[in-house]
Structure 1
Amino acid sequence: MPRSRLSGTFLTPKVDVVIDMGNPFLNLALDGFIKIGAVAVTRVAAEDAYYAVKSGNISSGKLEHSLKKMCKEGAYWGTVAGVYAGMERGVQRIRGTRDWKNAMIGGAMTGLVISAASNNNKNFIIVDAITGGAIATAAEFINYLT
Structure 2
Amino acid sequence: MPRSRFAASLSTPKVEVAIDMGHPLLNVTVDGFLKIGTVAATRSAAEDVYHIVKKGSLSRHNVEQTLKKMCKEGAYWGTVAGVYVGMEYGMQRIRGTRDWKNAMIGGALTGALVSAASSNNKDKVVMDTITGGAIATAAEFLNYLI
Query: Taking structure 2 as the reference length, what is the TM-score of the superposition?
Result: 0.92
The residue that corresponds to 1:16 in the other structure is: 16
Distance 1:7 1:109 in 2: 44
1:101 equivalenced with 2:101 (yes/no): yes
Classify 1:24/1:133 alpha carbon distance in 2 versus 1 (closer, same or farther; 3 Å).
same
Runs of 4+, deviation exceeding 6 Å: none
Instruction: Provide the rounded CA distance (Å) in 1 between the counterparts of 2:15 and 2:78.
Output: 17
Could you say which structure has the larger radius of gyration? 2
Residue identity opposite 1:26 in structure 2: L
Corresponding residue of 1:42: 42
Distance in structure 1 (CA, Å) of the matches to 2:134 and 2:124 = 15
How many Å apart are 1:75 and its aligned residue? 0.2
Name the structure 2 match of 1:135. 135
2-structure distance, mates of 1:124, 1:7? 48
Amino acid of the structure 1 residue aligned with 2:53: V
Distance 2:15 2:68 in 1: 26
Deviation (angstroms), 1:106? 0.4
Q: Give CA deviations for 1:95-126 in whole Å, capped at 9, x if unaligned.
A: 11111111100000000111111134111111
User: What does residue range 42-121 of structure 1 map to in structure 2 within 5 Å?
Assistant: 42-121=42-121
Q: Tell me the alpha carbon deviations over residues 25-62 of structure 1, each in whole angstroms, 9 at most, x when there is no partner.
A: 00000000000000001001111001100110211111
RMSD of aligned C-alpha atoms? 1.5
Aligned to 1:3: none
- For residues 44 and 26 of structure 1, what CA distance do their matches in structure 2 show? 26
Give unmatched runs, 5+ long, in structure 2.
Answer: 1-5
Q: Which stretch shifts more, 119-128 or 131-140?
A: 119-128
CA apart distance, 1:138:
0.6
Deviates more, 1:9-18 or 1:21-30: 9-18
Percent pairwise identity: 68
